[in-house]
Amino acid sequence: MTEVAARPEGDARSIRLRQYQDHLLERMQAANSGNGAPIRQLGMQVGATRYLLDLLEAGEIVPPVPLARVPLTQPWYLGLANVRGSLVGVIDLARYLGQDAAAAGATPGAAPGMRLVTFAPSLGMNCALLAERVYGLRQASSMQREGDALRDADNILWTPLSLAALVREQRFLHIAQQPDIQ
């Protein structure tokens, strides 16, 4: 009986997710066609850093799911997740970039705001980044450039992140741990 009672809530959640995705798609199409504001970046936080991703490089944003650990992989490779029937490698970007242990190494699902941000299918890599928080759409064209970063009107610093460049990095492509040679 509890399964039947819980089902409408799950259905409502699915409907809200679908509406959000449809809304996001409409905004992406408006940005691509030139109608409306050119919103093309997704804001997210990984470790202590806020990043801006090009919406064309980002796929789905989903709550963390249980991970299957993969032995003998780099510490930044958290494991495999089943996202809508597809196996996706989950990456701790903070660890990959060598951030300190306090900022890196979060456990999926440990914080309520955590999300998996999958890579767009066009990148040809079934991967997702573990984000402590996703802030939604941002307009980089309205931000001030500070070196390689951007500062918004609220004085928050954002770092552009190219997932296309990330999937071309040799170190990113080699998740196997190197054996200790003595």
Question: Residue 176 has which token pair?
Answer: 């196997």
Regions in the chain scoring below 50 on pLDDT: 1-6, 35, 37, 102-105
Q: pTM here?
A: 0.73
Report pLDDT for 95: 94
Instruction: Tell me how far apart the alpha carbons of residues 2 and 153 are, in angstroms, rounded to a whole number.
Output: 48
Report pLDDT for 177: 86
CA distances (Å), origin 158, targets 46, 50, 80, 83, 134: 11, 5, 28, 28, 13
Instruction: Tell me how far apart the alpha carbons of residues 95 and 100 are, in angstroms, rounded to a whole number.
Output: 8
Question: Residue 98 has which token pair?
Answer: 């060598």
Sign of CA dihedral 70, 74, 78, 84: negative
Instruction: Tell me how far apart the alpha carbons of residues 167 and 23 are, in angstroms, rounded to a whole number.
Output: 28
Report pLDDT for 17: 66
